[in-house]
């Protein structure tokens, strides 16, 4: 997958790009990330990317021209003819979830535009972008951190990125449940013991225990997730009995 990121703060990306898992993924050629500075696509002496809002109000608004110019320049370097999602990161977007990450991971290319909190000229939204994504109901000053969040969750779903192919399947949220608790050595630490079943070597019992723990944890922390989770009749009964305690 190739990802092009458009930003006015390109200096925010190298540290994240150099972090270990991502670095290996890039070196293996599984993903290619290109960061573009929108300011490089301005033509005035001051490299202006924003301006005051028509009608008044606080903050500055991204001008349309530098954004259109950057997208058009980047698009002209993409030879693959499959659909190219042009995604704006903005608190006005649809909510980013594991399912959206899965959708995006199927594309050959994607283009991410880091918006800014105060706003982007509406013509960019109306005539340039194909999708708008928010990473949650809180406000960031710009879309850069959101773009990194989206990229990191999408990239780990690409074939060959994770060591064992099925480890992404066990993640929280994939099955609609939170993950069960994990333990490593020692078997006893400060008097706190690892649950006996995990030391038993009985794989069926371990799987059953983990499943139940995942359900209990989800009920306790994120009960709304259980409505959409795929549970057996027996598991639904367990949920009801736990609720009625």
Q: Please report how close the Cβ of residue 43 comes to ligand 6GU at its closest, in angstroms.
A: 27
163's CB contacts (< 8 A; 6+ apart) are none
Cα 72 to Cα 50: distance, rounded to the nearest angstrom? 19
Residue nearest to ligand 6GU (CB): 146
Q: Is residue 155 helix, strand or coil? A: helix
Please state, as a whole number, how many other Cβ atoms lie within 10 Å of the Cβ of residue 191. 5
Under a CB-based contact definition with an 8 Å cutoff, are residues 37 and 7 in contact? Answer: yes
> Is 118 a catalytic site residue?
yes
Site string for ligand 6GU, 87-126 (x = CB under 6 A): --xxx-------------------------x---------
Q: Please report how close the Cβ of residue 136 comes to ligand 6GU at its closest, in angstroms.
A: 5
> Is 179 a catalytic site residue?
no
Q: Is 139 in the site for ligand 6GU (CB under 6 A)?
A: yes
Place of tokens 């990125």: 161
Under a CB-based contact definition with an 8 Å cutoff, are residues 71 and 86 in contact? Answer: yes
Applying CB under 6 A, what is the total number of residues that bind ligand 6GU?
A: 13
* Catalytic residue numbers, as ranges: 91, 118, 156, 171
Q: Which residues bind ligand 6GU (CB under 6 A)?
A: 89-91, 117, 134-136, 138-140, 142-143, 146
């Amino acid at each position: 997958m190739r990802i092009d990121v458009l930003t006015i703060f390109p200096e925010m990306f190298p540290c994240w790009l150099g972090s270990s898992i991502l670095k290996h993924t890039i070196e293996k050629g599984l993903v290619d990330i290109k960061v573009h500075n929108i300011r490089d696509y301005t033509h005035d002496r001051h490299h202006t990317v924003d301006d005051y809002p028509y009608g008044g109000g606080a903050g500055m608004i991204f001008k349309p021209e530098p954004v259109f110019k950057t997208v058009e320049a980047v698009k002209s370097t993409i030879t693959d003819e499959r659909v190219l999602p042009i995604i704006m990161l903005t608190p006005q977007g649809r909510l980013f979830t594991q399912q959206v990450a899965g959708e995006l991971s199927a594309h050959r290319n994607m283009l991410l535009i880091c918006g800014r909190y105060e706003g982007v000229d509406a013509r960019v939204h109306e005539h340039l972008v194909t999708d708008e994504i928010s990473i949650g109901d809180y406000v960031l000053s710009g879309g850069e951190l959101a773009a990194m969040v989206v990229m990191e969750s999408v990239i780990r779903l690409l074939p060959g990125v994770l060591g064992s192919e099925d480890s992404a399947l066990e993640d929280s949220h994939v099955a609609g449940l939170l993950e069960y608790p994990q333990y490593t050595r020692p078997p006893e630490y400060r008097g706190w013991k690892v649950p006996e079943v995990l030391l038993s070597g009985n794989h069926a019992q371990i799987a059953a225990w983990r499943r139940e723990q995942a359900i209990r944890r989800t009920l306790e922390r994120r009960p709304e997730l259980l409505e959409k989770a795929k549970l057996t009749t027996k598991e639904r009964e367990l949920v009801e009995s736990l609720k009625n305690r």
